[in-house]
Amino acid sequence: MLSIKNLCVSIEGKEILNGINLEIKPGEIHAIMGPNGSGKSTLANVLAGREDYEITAGEITYMGEDLMEMAPEDRARKGIFLSFQYPVEIPGVPMVNFLKTAVNEHRKFKGEKPLTAGEFLKVMREKKALVEMDTELTNRSVNEGFSGGEKKKNEIFQMALLEPKLSILDETDSGLDIDALRTVAHGVNALRSKDNATIVVTHYQRLLDYIVPDHVHVLLKGRIVKSAGKELALELEEKGYDWIKKENGEQV
Amino acid sequence: MNAVTENNDLSLRLTEQYNTLRDSLKESGAPVLNIHRQKAFRDFVAQGIPTRKVENYKYTNLQPAFAKEFDFPVRKSANDFQLEEKFKCDVPQINTHVVTMRNGWFYAEANEAVQLPEGVILDSFENVARTRPDLVEKFYGKLADTSADAMVALNTAFAQDGYFLYVPKNVAVEQPLQIINLLQAPKDTYVTQRNLIVVEEGAEVKLILCDHTLNLQNYFFNNATEAFIGSNASLDYYTVQNQHNKAVSINSVFVHQEQDSHLTSNTVSLHGGLIRNNLRVELDGQNCEANMFGLSFLDRKQHVDNFTQIIHGQPHCESNQLYKNVLDDESTGAFSGRIHVKRDAQKTNAFQRNNNLLLTDKAQMQTKPQLIIEADDVKCSHGATIGQIDEEALFYLRSRGIEEKQARLIMMNAFSYEVVQTIKVEPLRDRINELIERRLSGDVGRCHECAYQCDC
Ligand SMILES: Nc1ncnc2c1ncn2[C@@H]1O[C@H](COP(=O)(O)OP(=O)(O)OP(=O)(O)O)[C@@H](O)[C@H]1O
Ligand SMILES: [Mg+2]
């Protein structure tokens, strides 16, 4: 589904990712862990099509297509979804209008008729229930005044509405309370199928108890330095990153 | 030829024009208006055509606009136009009393379906000035100081007609009244329109004004309005400006408020070559509220200058100013907002904000707040921003499958939202939203709803 080869990315001349290789197949869950500043969000943003980054080398193929030439909106319509680490507040853009526009853009791409206001509200209610999102929140502007946890729930709510093929969850767990974490994780699991894949960026094992990964990767200074099964997450939780840094010849 | 002599020449030309027309003006004009002409013109000559050298016109030079040869019609032409066919400034679902002005003259082609409440007058200013000079004399020229603004002076010198609105004591006009100002002449024309609004104690009225051009001529539209709001009375004053790029529009509004009165002024400039909006509000009683809002969309070489003055003369009043501009291409905008809190006006709340969205590197915005605070127990604030569309928000929208063009539109609408939502007449608000959407997406002739759909 997704194939990343030797991806090198820099911003303002500073190299952030240097030589990422990653293969993701339908149905798989990949966890990406790593210390702060190692480049996890950068990778997630590059996949979603953020233009501030310069791709200096490598290639990304998504469902057989070159992803790098594709506009962010086209990636989204073709099934890539990024749950942002820091969702932006957009005052003046009502949630409902935004969501309806997004859903109908997806439908148009698939050759489906746009949802009427009534149909849309019905779908919205269903998906809101899935992540137990407060009804009042969709009466506001996009993310405006949302608490940290509410913003994260809102991301998964959008994911539920857009039904992506490849979901990238960038620290969706941070900011969620214990109950909300469980609800959101169940929501993500409910949306899983053998055809879609998920990349989970997280710092904590806790989320991976609910969303069980097939592969765990450690990103260090812009490179994937270790990949293993779900047991790697447990080991990291226990020992931290020092031993991996040492293995990679870093002074600790 | 240098700028000074050119200005003198242009002023001389206007003087000739005035001298030629003086007798006809006197002859056809109402006596209560005629008595002001001579002094007004002298005041104009003393000030000259406004250029950037005049402090209050620092961002708008009117000299090039006066360099054109204009017709100065002094007689009302016959009602030879079919409003329905040529033009519709339709606000759906709005049940209003509609009045049409053409080239500054009042045409009593009112919407018969809507009756005005007992005692309310909405009529030709000239007619009222002639038949009820008592109603006019007390107010005319009391706010529009001809020695303080050359354009007001010129307006007063040439004033003949316009609309006159009178709402007697304790009468609330439920339905908004709509006045459509049309410019439509066979030649390039200088148009004077002079209006008077009197809202007596405890009365309430909402006015919707729509400015339009109906053909390709060059126009200079000099419109001036004096509005008196009595104690505990309320005036909502909405203006929608939609003229073509060859139109120059000077829109001066002077408001006087007595105690416990309320004003909301909202000016939406959708289109126009050069627009200058002067709004001067004087709070002359306690517990007044004045809301002054504006929203402009500019592209190509358009220019919009909003010039506001709020004078807090009495304690316990509140004023709010919110002006926003969206500037595309090489357009230029200006906002100057003066807040004057006089010595007696303790416990004043006066707020002002000006936000601007520049869509290109070539668009330019000038913003100048000016606070004169003579009282010590007041709350005043002002702020201005000039920025671009938030790229992070744009990416967020696109990452959800929304096309870039559409996402930009959404962001521009979001920017305008704060001003639009202050419009309390709901059908008007919906209509404005729709007009903004169409204006921004550029899918209709730029000068919207014009029968000619000229590309100018
Ligand atoms: N716009 C930018 N300008 C300069 N440096 C940047 C920019 N964006 C990211 N970086 C740098 O790139 C590096 C990687 O950042 P990134 O956000 O990808 O880290 P991360 O692994 O997601 O960290 P965290 O766990 O804290 O979320 C950091 O050192 C960061 O400061
Ligand atoms: Mg991150």
- pTM equals 0.85
- Band (B444; pLDDT cuts 50, 70, 90): very low
Cα separation, B223 vs B196, whole angstroms: 11
Q: Tell me which chain A residue has its CA closest to the CA of residue B415.
A: A92
Residue B358 alpha carbon to ligand 1 centre in Å: 29
Over residues A41-94, the pLDDT tens digits come to 999 999 999 998 999 999 999 999 999 989 999 999 999 999 999 999 999 999
Helix (H, G, I), strand (E, B) or coil at A185: helix
CA-to-CA dists, residue A29 to A33, A76, A219, B425, angstroms:
13, 19, 16, 53
Residue A48 alpha carbon to ligand 2 centre in Å: 14
Rounded mean pLDDT, B161-181: 94
Give the pLDDT of residue B456: 43
Give the pLDDT of residue B114: 60
Asked if pLDDT for residue A119 goes beyond 90, the answer is yes
Chain A contacts of B418, Cβ < 8 Å?
Answer: 92
Helix/strand/coil (H, E, C) string of B378-442?
EEEEEEEEEECCCHHHHHHHHCCCCCHHHHHHHHHHHHHHHHHCCCCCHHHHHHHHHHHHHHHHC
Please, what is the Cα angle at B411 between B406 and B413, to 5 degrees? Answer: 95
CB B168 within 8 A of CB B203: yes
A110 contacts chain B (CB < 8 A): no
Alpha-carbon distance B429 to nearest alpha carbon in chain A (angstroms): 15
Chain A contacts of B399, Cβ < 8 Å?
Answer: 48-49, 72-73, 75-76, 81-82
Over residues B349-388, the pLDDT tens digits come to 999 999 999 999 999 999 999 999 999 999 999 999 999 9
Alpha-carbon distance A234 to nearest alpha carbon in chain B (angstroms): 33
Give the pLDDT of residue B263: 98
CB-CB neighbours of B373 under 10 Å: 16
Atom of ligand 1 nearest to the CA of A42: 18
Give the pLDDT of residue B4: 62
Asked if pLDDT for residue B95 goes beyond 90, the answer is no
A91 contacts chain B (CB < 8 A): yes
Nearest CA to ligand 1 atom 17: A41
The two tokens of residue A83 are 């749950």
What is the DSSP secondary-structure string of B154-165?
A: HHHHH----EEE
Ligand positioned closest to the Cα atom of A203: 1
Asked if pLDDT for residue B403 goes beyond 90, the answer is yes
Over residues A160-195, the pLDDT tens digits come to 999 999 999 999 998 889 988 998 898 889 888 999
Highest mean pLDDT of the ranges B34-43, B73-82, B441-450: B34-43
- Band (B125; pLDDT cuts 50, 70, 90): very high
Residue B208 alpha carbon to ligand 2 centre in Å: 51
Least confident of B21-25, B78-82, B392-396: B78-82
Asked if pLDDT for residue B449 goes beyond 60, the answer is no
Residue (of B392, B325, B49) closest to B190 by Cα position: B49
Rounded mean pLDDT, B297-311: 96
Rounded mean pLDDT, B411-422: 92
Answer yes or no: do B390 and A88 touch at CB < 8 A.
yes
- Band (B7; pLDDT cuts 50, 70, 90): confident
Nearest CA to ligand 1 atom 19: A37
CB B107 within 8 A of CB B101: yes
Give the pLDDT of residue B10: 85
- Band (B3; pLDDT cuts 50, 70, 90): low
Helices (H), B30-159: 31-47, 63-66, 83-86, 125-131, 133-137, 150-158
CB A26 within 8 A of CB A1: yes
Atom of ligand 1 nearest to the CA of A219: 21
B390 contacts chain A (CB < 8 A): yes
Give the pLDDT of residue B453: 44
The two tokens of residue A249 are 């010849």
In the beta sheet, which residues pair with residue B180? B100, B210
Q: Which of B399, B412, B417 to mutate to test the interface with A (most CBs of A within 10 A)?
A: B399
Q: Tell me which chain A residue has its CA closest to the CA of residue B389.
A: A90
- Band (B451; pLDDT cuts 50, 70, 90): very low
The superfamily (CATH) of domain A2-247 is P-loop containing nucleotide triphosphate hydrolases (3.40.50.300)
- H/E run at residue B445: none
B253's CB contacts (< 8 A; 6+ apart) are B224, B225, B227, B237, B265, B277, B278, B279, B280
Nearest CA to ligand 1 atom 18: A39
Chain B contacts of A87, Cβ < 8 Å?
Answer: 396
Q: Which residue has the higher pLDDT, B434 or B84?
A: B434
Chain B contacts of A97, Cβ < 8 Å?
Answer: 410
CB B275 within 8 A of CB B303: yes
Rounded mean pLDDT, A97-116: 94
Q: Is the dihedral of CA A179, A185, A187, A189 positive or negative?
A: negative
Give the pLDDT of residue B446: 47
Cα separation, B310 vs B337, whole angstroms: 8
CA-to-CA dists, residue B116 to B171, B195, B233, angstroms:
10, 19, 18
Over residues A7-22, the pLDDT tens digits come to 999 999 899 999 999 9
Give the pLDDT of residue A214: 93
Asked if pLDDT for residue B12 goes beyond 80, the answer is yes
Q: Tell me which chain A residue has its CA closest to the CA of residue B395.
A: A50
Chain B contacts of A112, Cβ < 8 Å?
Answer: none
Residue (of B339, B340, B338, B267) closest to B304 by Cα position: B267
B421 contacts chain A (CB < 8 A): no
Number of Cα atoms under 13 Å in the Cβ half of residue A63: 12
| R_g (Cα) of chain A, nearest Å | 18
Alpha-carbon distance B356 to nearest alpha carbon in chain A (angstroms): 15
Pocket test for ligand 1, best of A36, A171, A201 (most atoms within 8 A of CB): A36
